[in-house]
Amino acid sequence: MHDLLSGIRVVDLTTIVLGPYATQVLGDMGADVIKIEPLTGDLFRTVRPGRDQDMGAGFLNCNRNKRSVALDLTRKEGREALHAILKTADVLMHNMRPSSAARIGASYAEAKAVRPDIVYCYAPGFGQDGPYAAAPAYDDTIQAASGLAALNADSEGAPRFLPNIIGDKVGGLHLALAALMGVIGRMRTGRGCCIEAPMFESVVSFLMLEQLSGHTFRPPIGGVGYERLQSPNRRPHRTKDGYIAVLPYNTEHWTCFLELIGRADMARLDLVRDPVVRSRNIDKLYKVVAEAMPARTTGEWLSVLNAADIPCSRVNSFADLLEEEHLKAVEMFEDIDHPTEGATRVLRSPFNVIGRARELDAPAPRLGEDTRVVLEEAGFSEGEISLLIESGAAQAAASKGAKHGAR
């Protein structure tokens, strides 16, 4: 955890992955993220694998550096507790439709009434000015709607989902950026704001940056789709003993690569030297790469290509990443002793604040672990907190008990 956002308090009403990924980014930078959960907990707690029912691996990996408060926001007392916490906050974030937020006392109007300068950021599935405003959205449906499934079609043209919750995570990064921009704007002007960061539009913006292609111009001067990325020969190439990714990109890369494979004659052609001609004929050059790769092993290619400063990489599996030398050197994966889950391996934030030591991350909290402390900070007395819990409007975690041993 870094301290760049120290002093910023975020009320986090997000669930599953999109929102929790966004708020974890803020928590990693030192924001005090208060995760408000229903009494049953964030549904992502139950996604397997996991040792305990409410502490699954996915939940552990996108909820570090947060505090958990369990409130029943369908009850008046729960909503009043939420509003008391909001009075102490700088930012409210959720990934619900506005109608759902309104039902639990978390509309922008209600939040602004409680905290006039609140930075209110939300990620509905679709922008609220369009015909899909009320439609639900999940990663699979957004992959389909955004064109990503079609982009990832198999060799027969059948669309496929990317086996990654990329829609949620792209949406999450946009939501985190929205919160940061809102906080900076408030620092400059003293005014809060409401920022909508819809999942569908965020993913479309992310994908179409390069894929708009010929339709960037009016009238169009070509089709949609970035031709280089759709080249049949743009793929990991088979070597003598495996696969490798090679990307000669600029004129110097191509000239050096062609000399390495004994094709210096090609290096003098406009096909190589003229970047416009090269762009139009990139698949021909990628085919040359594909035909050359089987001549050496992956290790041999990595040696000569790295020496020539030509972009390349071995093809890693996820299991390979756990032992990858660079990731080990930068300590991307860390072994920690979780208070209740025992020995666990976690990802750290990818950011590195140069010249400042990184503090230890707080592990993902148990449901309601911080209910009492946060309500006390919001001005509730011990008796009032106990009444909230006894009435069923709030819930506090039971004693931590013995932690799991390493498995």
Same-domain check for residues 300 and 163: no
Same-domain check for residues 244 and 189: no
Same-domain check for residues 124 and 19: yes
- Torsional class of 272: left (φ above 0), alpha (ψ -120 to 50), beta (otherwise): alpha
Same-domain check for residues 247 and 189: no
191 band by pLDDT with thresholds 50, 70 and 90: very high
Structural domain contains residue 232: no
- Torsional class of 30: left (φ above 0), alpha (ψ -120 to 50), beta (otherwise): left
pTM, full prediction: 0.93
Inter-residue contact 137 to 96 (CB < 8 Å): no
Cα-based angle 232, 237, 239 (whole degrees, multiple of 5): 155
- pLDDT value of residue 406: 32
Same-domain check for residues 79 and 160: yes
Same-domain check for residues 272 and 192: no
HEC sequence for 186-230: HHHHCCCEEEECCHHHHHHHHHHHHHCHHHHCCCCCCCCCCHHHH
Structural domain contains residue 226: no
Which one of 247, 279, 314 terminates a domain? 314
Number of domains in the chain: 2
Which one of 257, 288, 314 terminates a domain? 314
Same-domain check for residues 132 and 271: no
- pLDDT value of residue 99: 95
Interaxial angle between packed helices 251-260 and 282-292, expressed in degrees from 0 to 180 and rounded to the nearest 10: 30
**Alpha carbon distance 100, 326 (integer Å):** 44
Q: CATH number of the domain that 193 lies in?
A: 3.40.50.10540
81 band by pLDDT with thresholds 50, 70 and 90: very high
Asked if residue 334 has pLDDT above 50, the reply is yes
The residue segments making up the domain with residue 252 are 237-314
- pLDDT value of residue 155: 87
Asked if residue 338 has pLDDT above 80, the reply is yes
Inter-residue contact 206 to 255 (CB < 8 Å): no
403 band by pLDDT with thresholds 50, 70 and 90: very low
pLDDT tens digits, 240-297: 999 999 999 999 999 999 999 999 999 999 999 999 999 999 999 999 999 999 999 9
Cβ burial of 53 (10 Å; 0-12, 13-18, 19+) is exposed
- pLDDT value of residue 19: 97
Tokens encoding 139? 């990663």
pLDDT tens digits, 4-24: 999 999 999 999 999 999 999
Tokens encoding 13? 């009403």
407 band by pLDDT with thresholds 50, 70 and 90: very low
Which one of 263, 287, 314 terminates a domain? 314
Residue 383's alpha-carbon distances to 34, 195, 327, 379, in angstroms, are 22, 37, 49, 12
Q: CATH number of the domain that 252 lies in?
A: 3.30.1540
Structural domain contains residue 231: no
Same-domain check for residues 178 and 297: no
Structural domain contains residue 368: yes
- pLDDT value of residue 230: 87
